[in-house]
């Protein structure tokens, strides 16, 4: 399965000159929600991710996603794994599990995101599961930005990866691209102007 092509075909992988939320510039931008716009594509990707997890032999009882970004990917993964799905959400900046969701003692959870950058939100959701007595046996994402090491590759995690290195991260592909400070951006030097992705009238 050519994940990069699926992202391109869904306009989820954009090429141009972008100003990222960090302030850095990049030639590429991942608009993860776009790849999940077509439910058939979401199902296909989640089934591929579920296959990787099943092949690892790790037993999963439930999927938990941090809202908002991880919800669709997590729900699709839970469907493919045929397990429960719950989510964690921020209340006054603090990740919490509410809405009557119950974490049972010693249940095995996979934390699922649409994309893992440094894994900060995924880690916060994981801590909430653990505080409620559940186990974190895996992290999962459709796309990995290359800061953390995904299962099956030999890359080393970058120092800003927040995920624990004793729990595997399952992802469909690495999307590692160069980021430049505005002063050192070769695209700026070529005379083009960086745009904020998604800022065209929305």
Q: Give contact residues for Zn ion (rule: CB under 5 A).
A: 25, 185, 187-188, 194
The DSSP secondary structure of 58-107, one letter per residue, reads: ---SEEEEETTTTHHHHHHHHHHHT-EEEEEEEETTEEE--TT--PPTT-
Q: Which position's Cβ is nearest Zn ion? A: 185
Provide the minimum distance between the beta carbon of 198 and Zn ion in the complex, in angstroms, as a whole number: 17
Residue closer to Zn ion (CB basis): 20 or 58: 20
Q: Could you tell me which residues come within 8 angstroms of residue 57 by beta carbon, excluding any fewer than 6 positions away?
A: none
Residue closer to Zn ion (CB basis): 18 or 109: 18
Judge whether 122 and 159 are in contact, CB under 8 Å. no
Residue closer to Zn ion (CB basis): 30 or 185: 185
- Closest to 140 measured CA to CA, from 150, 130, 132: 150
Provide the minimum distance between the beta carbon of 64 and Zn ion in the complex, in angstroms, as a whole number: 37
Max Cα–Cα distance, the chain, nearest Å: 58
Residue closer to Zn ion (CB basis): 24 or 132: 24
Provide the minimum distance between the beta carbon of 182 and Zn ion in the complex, in angstroms, as a whole number: 6
One-letter-per-residue 3-state SS of 118-133: CCHHHHHHHHHHHHCC
Provide the minimum distance between the beta carbon of 29 and Zn ion in the complex, in angstroms, as a whole number: 12
Provide the minimum distance between the beta carbon of 147 and Zn ion in the complex, in angstroms, as a whole number: 21
Give the integer Cα–Cα distance in Å for 52 and 140: 10
Residue closer to Zn ion (CB basis): 37 or 178: 178
């Amino acid at each position: 399965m050519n994940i990069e092509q699926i992202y391109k075909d869904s306009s989820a992988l954009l090429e141009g000159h972008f100003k990222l939320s960090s302030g850095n510039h990049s030639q590429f931008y991942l608009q993860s929600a776009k790849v999940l716009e077509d439910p058939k594509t979401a199902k296909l990707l989640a089934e591929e991710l579920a296959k990787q997890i099943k092949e690892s032999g790790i037993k999963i009882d439930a999927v938990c996603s941090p809202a908002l970004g991880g919800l669709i990917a997590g729900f699709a993964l839970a469907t493919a794994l045929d397990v429960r799905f719950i989510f964690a959400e921020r209340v006054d900046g603090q990740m919490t599990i509410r809405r009557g969701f119950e974490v049972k003692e010693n249940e095995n959870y996979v934390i699922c995101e649409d994309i893992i950058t440094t894994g900060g939100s995924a880690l916060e959701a994981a801590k909430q599961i653990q505080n409620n007595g559940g186990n974190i046996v895996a992290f999962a994402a459709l796309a990995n930005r290359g800061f953390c090491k995904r299962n099956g590759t030999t890359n080393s995690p970058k120092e800003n990866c927040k995920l624990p290195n004793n729990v595997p991260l399952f992802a469909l592909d690495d999307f590692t691209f160069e980021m430049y400070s505005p002063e050192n951006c070769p695209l700026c030097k070529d005379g083009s102007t960086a745009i904020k992705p998604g800022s065209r009238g929305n």
